[in-house]
Amino acid sequence: MNDMRLIDRKTTMNEIKIAAEGVDVFYGESHALKDVSVDIEERTVTAFIGPSGCGKSTFLRCLNRMNDTIPTARVTGRITLDGEDIYAPSVDPVQLRAKVGMVFQKPNPFPKSIYDNVAYGPRIHGLSRNKAELDEIVENSLRRAALWDEAKDRLAEPGTGLSGGQQQRLCIARAVATAPEVLLMDEPCSALDPIATAQVEELIDELRQNFSVVIVTHSMQQAARVSQKTAFFHLGHLVEYDDTDTIFQNPRDTRTESYITGRIG
């Protein structure tokens, strides 16, 4: 007879989607991220947690070269997506960001209509052949971001006219519209009410079937709920990276334990 123990609970090792080796980030003189090496798995939600200023957002921004836009930022080390160095001269950052999408903490819709906000990515990347296909992409993206019911009758209105929570879901719809392979989310729910938060978490779980999601969050409970892997950052170091269950029930490093139990800020 088969062993009926809780083998299913064990996290199976997926393929590596993004591999970072010895990554250091400097903003001018300040050394923001120190020798971080981590493997982000495919079809997995990875949570980055840690106090403000610990480097988690900095590291997240390295994964789709958002730090390129900051003149003083310098990134060393190696980051690969599917084995390809994303900092290689041949890589076009715009193409990279179509594959590695991002949702920010503050909603930042384009000053365009709701429809055009979502349609923008598919248009510039040529993901649809006609209006009907584009309509479908827009509808699907808005549905996945749990915004369709509220937005379907006002698609021509400006995205900036939506409420803060709706704007954030619009940004999520915009990010998923290009069908990215990796979605980076920097505190995507900090401006959302509990219902919208639950909808976004549901979306994250759905995205995991096909993609990798990396989420930076200040909510311990959110990290515990949505992720399979958790990385704890502190003072620019990656302190501990393990299965989420382990991090929240029996972490190895005392700094991790102090942080998640609310003993250091």
Partner 1 sequence: MNNAHIASAFDRDLERVQAMLMKMGGLVETAILDGAKSLEARDLELADSVRKGDRAIDALEEQVNAEATRVIALRAPTARDLRTVMTVIKISANLERCGDYAKNMAKRTTVLAETPPVGSASVSIRKMAREVQLMLKDALDAYVQRDAALAADVIQRDEDVDQLYNALFRELLTFMMEDPRNITPCMHLHFIAKNIERMGDHVTNMAEQVVYLVTGALPDESRQKQDVTAYVSEE
Residues that bind partner 1 (CB under 8 A): 220-221, 224, 248-251, 254-258, 260-265
Angle (CA) 93-129-171 rounded to 5° is: 50
Q: Are 34 and 237 in contact (CB under 8 A)?
A: yes
Residue type, 164: G
Q: How far is CA 25 from the centre of its chain?
A: 19
CB of 51 to partner 1, least distance (A): 11
Nearer residue to partner 1 within complex by CB, 111 or 194: 194
What would the DSSP string read from start to end of 4-47?
Answer: -SSGGGSPPPPPEEEEEEEEEEEETTEEEEEEEEEEEETT-EEE
Q: Which helix (H) or strand (E) holds 194?
A: helix 194-207
Nearer residue to partner 1 within complex by CB, 80 or 258: 258
Nearer residue to partner 1 within complex by CB, 119 or 260: 260
CB of 264 to partner 1, least distance (A): 6
CB of 250 to partner 1, least distance (A): 3
C-alpha torsion angle, residues 215, 246, 241, 196 (rounded to 10) = 0
Nearer residue to partner 1 within complex by CB, 4 or 156: 4
CB of 105 to partner 1, least distance (A): 22
Q: How far apart are CA 72 and CA 28, in angstroms?
A: 5
CB of 260 to partner 1, least distance (A): 5
Nearer residue to partner 1 within complex by CB, 125 or 255: 255
